[in-house]
């Protein structure tokens, strides 16, 4: 029962509802769509991601013996449910945008069409995966935009919320445009360049700081990036110059504390006076897109940023307002009318129009409507099987890059005005919503 | 290479440093301690947790073939490192506070004493686990305090940051004092009561709301909690009365949108007028400790709270300032002096004194000092093996309950003054720090 793979990683009510649907014979096709209801304040767009992870999970989803034992003994379900779940596989049809697609509120990220119990059962984990990846990719893209070409690396594994979040953070930051990650396993799995320097403990393990620098340069002569703030940053910079004079290679220094802009200026001066104009200065420590923007506005001589905690926890906004809602059952469009939580009913598509390479507006419409613009959702699964090959992170990264470049500039701002990007709702979709609301319940 | 179990879920620099330590023969015993540097604003305490998870991980930690292949081919390390790592097991000694211990800044959560490469290698994942569990347990305890005996349940799996975070959220909220979780796998693994109602999709899947209620009450007569806000909350409450009049059992209703206090009052009136005084009202939707406190101050007739997104992402403060630092190597105490990041050197202990059952103050001291008060850190591993049996969540939950009850009342406030709780530093530890700082580096 490994959490990342177990169908019991779900909310109890999904199983309660499945139990009831099966009992009632309610297994007609249902369409659910996953979408974001609104953007966090100041955000002009978000990036949908995690669909690849969902497809992998759906393909593998099955109840094993340990899971079925729990179903039998937990006391919540009728006898016989475990036997039905033992046979259950995901057999549905899935349309989705590809990972790395820029989206706006109310636009579907993915649509599942499957027998109602299947489509219901998967809700919690589908949301969990897409929410996590989209959250972190969207946050990372902001840092990439703020850095304006400066090099960013992901140092956040230790404070990401667990193993899956750490892996998602490395993948998300890479597809958003970071230069690499410190997380080795993400490097191995997702083909991301791995990067790293040294920790304060390395310096502390030697009696003298210069001995630590010498040992590091000897052990890893191809990538000598020295952490220089363990005792005194200016002193660390002077020892860097000394190390280079001794003939050791030095590629960069990292500053992890203090006023990073002021320290970078001081260190740059010491390095330049020591003839180390080519040695790069990296900074780290509680950085995010806002800190990067401030350091750049201040013209601090910084070549690269190590980002961790605040990015990998999406600290200023660690959740997106996302929902997975029944849109159609037995061929009839549905929507709830709960205050502040309305959505557009029916099976939908998004069509995006471009003018001179810039995204000019989207139309949210019914899936079957033929309207101008490229459709964003395409089939990824049919009959419970993949119909599109898994996509590598390099292609997804390129999609993000192109998507950001095609976004109107005002949408890319760190503090964007609300609802800048035009998303219109088609006439037929509006009519469908009105007809749905006229039904009696 | 399952992320939760792979030693490659680490930062590259750990492996780079290990490579260098092994090359230099630096494998003398090193002591590292994990601690929190400071509390988030307004917090009067935090709760350390995740130590059980760390001990499990350390016991199992080994490099498998796929991991060793990556070590050999990634291009960062000298030839031969993979062969050394293939033999590596954690052989160290660990002292720690038990999960659920209330702690304050600078106090060690755990201390690892092991050959330097081992103690270094484990840093990232040890931090990742303890940070996650401590973060979520500390946040959940605030909601429990705010609810003042009201019933809380965890509905947050879908927006927790991935599978491991969802499991940690269920466990953390339970040990903090919640009544249960919706996350089935956490119920199965951690022996937590599982709870749940129905989703809007269930109501939408029926043509009429009352049919959904009837079907649910028929399928699950022992726990009939109806979600009544899909179309109109007051109307849903009236249908609840109708259902009861038809002879169906009804135990509760859930309201998930709108002004929850006002809706609860309106619904309470309708239920009471319908003779359903005993039917409980549960509310959910973006709730946290502050929202609970407001609803209680407003005397809203609410019997239980379903908490999700804001608690399981620790939304107002999704990270703790935690560090794992080298304290002693080859018998010599160490500390860095980076601005704003100093710590107390040496192998330490915390002793807590109680007066009339109330925690009266802690002393941070050297491990070998005999001072008044109960020592908080005790041995959990020796020679890389557990020396204390795993503890079930019921015992940990009781420790949290007792710990919160023994905390001075001002520390339990939602907006606590800074540094309320007295933590004094022993004379010998101060002397050790001064001696450490006098060393030349």
- Give residue-wise pLDDT tens across range A19-49: 999 999 999 999 999 999 999 999 999 999 9
| Gap from A354 CA to chain B (nearest CA, Å) | 33
Among chain B residues, the shortest Cα distance to A134 is held by B161
Cα separation, A440 vs A436, in Å, equals 9
pLDDT of residue B293: 97
| Gap from A357 CA to chain B (nearest CA, Å) | 35
CB contact under 8 Å between A13 and B337, yes or no, is no
Cα separation, A405 vs A399, in Å, equals 10
Chain centroid to CA B320: 11
pLDDT of residue A169: 98
Cα separation, B241 vs B11, in Å, equals 58
pLDDT at A72 over 80: yes
Contacts of A326 in chain B (CB under 8 A): 200-201, 204-205
Q: What residue has token string 């909601």? A: B143
- Give residue-wise pLDDT tens across range B234-253: 999 999 999 999 999 999 99
- Other C-beta atoms within 10 Å of A213: how many? 28
Which residues of B367-406 form beta strands (DSSP E)? 374-375, 378-382, 385-386
Q: What residue has token string 């793979």? A: A5
- Domain B12-136+320-438 and domain B141-312, same fold? Reply is no
Domain-wise residue ranges, chain B: 12-136+320-438, 141-312
pLDDT at A126 over 90: yes
More confident residue, B18 or A336: B18
pLDDT of residue A265: 98
Cα separation, B33 vs A166, in Å, equals 22
- Partnered with residue A227 across adjacent β-strands are A254
| Gap from B184 CA to chain A (nearest CA, Å) | 5
| Gap from B382 CA to chain A (nearest CA, Å) | 23
- Give residue-wise pLDDT tens across range B282-304: 999 999 999 999 999 999 999 99
Cα separation, A241 vs A263, in Å, equals 16
pLDDT of residue A343: 85
CB contact under 8 Å between A329 and B440, yes or no, is no
pLDDT of residue B335: 82
pLDDT of residue A158: 98
pLDDT at B216 over 90: yes
pLDDT of residue B83: 97
pLDDT of residue A351: 98
pLDDT of residue B68: 98
| Gap from B148 CA to chain A (nearest CA, Å) | 26
- CB-nearest to B199 from A13, A200, A223 is A13
CB contact under 8 Å between A167 and B9, yes or no, is yes
Q: What confidence category does residue A438 fall into, taking pLDDT thresholds of 50, 70 and 90? A: confident
pLDDT of residue A8: 98
CB contact under 8 Å between B162 and A163, yes or no, is yes
User: What's the whole-number mean pLDDT along residues A198-220?
Assistant: 93
Test mutation, A204, A207, A436, chain B, max B CBs within 10 A: A204
| Gap from B403 CA to chain A (nearest CA, Å) | 25
User: What's the whole-number mean pLDDT along residues B27-41?
Assistant: 96
Among chain A residues, the shortest Cα distance to B7 is held by A185
pLDDT at B379 over 90: yes
3-state secondary structure of A349: strand
Domain spanning A25-62+90-136+323-438 has what CATH number?
3.20.140.10
- Give residue-wise pLDDT tens across range A245-285: 999 999 999 999 999 999 999 999 999 999 999 999 999 99
pLDDT of residue B238: 98
pLDDT at A338 over 90: no
CB contact under 8 Å between B318 and A322, yes or no, is no
Phi first, then psi, for residue B280 (nearest 5°) are -85, 150
pLDDT at A437 over 90: no
* pLDDT-above-90 percentage for chain A: 93
pLDDT of residue A81: 97
CB contact under 8 Å between B3 and A3, yes or no, is no
CB contact under 8 Å between B123 and A158, yes or no, is yes
Contacts of A49 in chain B (CB under 8 A): none
Sequence-separated (6 or more) residues with CB below 8 Å from residue B299: none
- CB-nearest to A164 from B163, B202, B339 is B163
| Gap from B277 CA to chain A (nearest CA, Å) | 25
Domain B12-136+320-438 matching CATH 3.90.1420.10: the answer reads no
- CB-nearest to A341 from B132, B165, B257 is B257
Among chain A residues, the shortest Cα distance to B154 is held by A11
pLDDT at A340 over 90: no
Question: What is the average pLDDT score of chain A?
Answer: 96
pLDDT of residue A1: 86
- CB-nearest to B230 from A157, A168, A336 is A336
CATH tag for B141-312 (out of 3.40.50.20, 3.20.20.70, 3.30.479.30, 3.20.20.110):
3.20.20.70
pLDDT of residue A335: 81
pLDDT at A236 over 90: yes
Contacts of B123 in chain A (CB under 8 A): 158, 199, 201
- CB-nearest to A162 from B132, B199, B319 is B132
CB contact under 8 Å between A185 and B231, yes or no, is no
- CB-nearest to B8 from A2, A164, A188 is A188
User: What's the whole-number mean pLDDT along residues B150-170?
Assistant: 97
pLDDT at A68 over 80: yes
Q: What residue has token string 């007295």? A: B422
CA-to-CA dists, residue A399 to A134, A354, A358, A420, angstroms: 14, 15, 14, 22
Q: pTM of the predicted model, to two decimals? A: 0.97
- Give residue-wise pLDDT tens across range B408-435: 999 999 999 988 999 999 999 999 999 9
Test mutation, B18, B201, B218, B335, chain A, max A CBs within 10 A: B201
Chain centroid to CA A286: 19
- Give residue-wise pLDDT tens across range B89-114: 999 999 999 999 999 999 999 999 99
Give the helix/strand (H/E) hosting B125: helix B123-147
DSSP code, position A194: B
Q: Which of A228, A224, A230 is nearest to A197 (CA)?
A: A224
pLDDT at A440 over 90: no
pLDDT of residue B136: 98
- CB-nearest to B204 from A23, A157, A334 is A334
> How many CA atoms lie less than 13 Å away from A106 in the CB half-sphere?
22
- CB-nearest to B336 from A160, A162, A230 is A230
Cα separation, B126 vs A25, in Å, equals 48
pLDDT at B366 over 80: yes
Q: With beta carbons less than 8 A apart as the criterion, state whether A62 and A89 touch.
A: yes
DSSP code, position B421: S
Domain A144-312 matching CATH 3.20.20.70: the answer reads yes
Question: What is the average pLDDT score of chain B?
Answer: 96
pLDDT of residue A309: 97
């Amino acid at each position: 029962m490994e959490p990342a793979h177990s169908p019991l990683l779900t909310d109890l009510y999904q199983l309660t509802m499945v139990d009831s649907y099966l009992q009632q014979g309610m297994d007609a096709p249902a369409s659910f769509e996953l979408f974001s209801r609104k953007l966090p304040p100041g955000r002009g767009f978000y990036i949908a991601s995690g669909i690849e992870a969902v497809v992998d999970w759906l393909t593998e989803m099955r109840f094993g013996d340990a899971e079925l034992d729990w179903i039998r003994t937990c006391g919540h379900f009728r006898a016989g449910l475990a036997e039905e779940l033992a046979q259950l596989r995901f057999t549905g049809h899935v349309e989705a945008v590809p990972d790395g697609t820029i989206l706006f509120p109310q636009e579907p990220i993915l649509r599942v069409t499957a027998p109602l119990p299947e489509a219901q059962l998967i809700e919690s984990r589908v949301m969990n995966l897409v929410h996590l990846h989209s959250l972190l990719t969207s946050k990372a893209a902001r840092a990439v935009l703020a850095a304006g070409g400066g090099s960013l690396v992901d140092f956040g594994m230790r404070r990401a919320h667990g193993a899956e979040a750490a892996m998602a953070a490395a993948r998300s930051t890479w597809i958003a445009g970071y230069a690499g990650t410190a997380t080795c396993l993400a490097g191995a799995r997702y083909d991301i360049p791995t990067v790293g320097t040294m920790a304060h403990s390395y310096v502390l393990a030697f009696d003298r700081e210069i001995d630590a620098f010498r040992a590091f340069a000897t052990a890893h002569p191809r990538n000598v990036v020295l952490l220089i703030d363990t005792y005194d940053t200016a002193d660390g910079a002077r020892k860097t110059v000394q190390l280079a004079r001794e003939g050791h290679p030095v590629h960069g220094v990292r500053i992890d504390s203090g006023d990073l802009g002021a320290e970078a200026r001081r260190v740059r001066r010491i390095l330049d006076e020591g003839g180390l104009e080519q040695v790069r200065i990296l900074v780290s420590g509680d950085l995010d897109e806002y800190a990067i923007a401030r350091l750049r506005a201040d013209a601090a001589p910084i070549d690269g940023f190590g980002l961790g905690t605040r990015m990998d926890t999406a600290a200023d906004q660690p959740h997106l307002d996302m929902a997975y809602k029944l849109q159609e059952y037995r061929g009839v469009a549905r929507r709830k009318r709960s205050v502040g939580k309305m959505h557009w009913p029916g099976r939908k598509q998004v069509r995006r129009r471009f003018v001179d390479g810039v995204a000019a507006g989207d139309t949210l419409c019914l899936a079957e409507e033929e309207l101008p613009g490229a459709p964003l959702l395409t089939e990824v699964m049919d009959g419970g099987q993949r119909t599109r090959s898994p996509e590598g992170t390099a292609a997804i990264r390129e999609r993000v890059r192109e998507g950001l470049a095609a976004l109107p500039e005002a949408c890319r701002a760190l503090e964007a005005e609300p609802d800048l990007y035009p998303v219109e709702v088609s006439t037929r979709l509006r009519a469908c919503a009105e007809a749905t609301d006229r039904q009696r319940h």
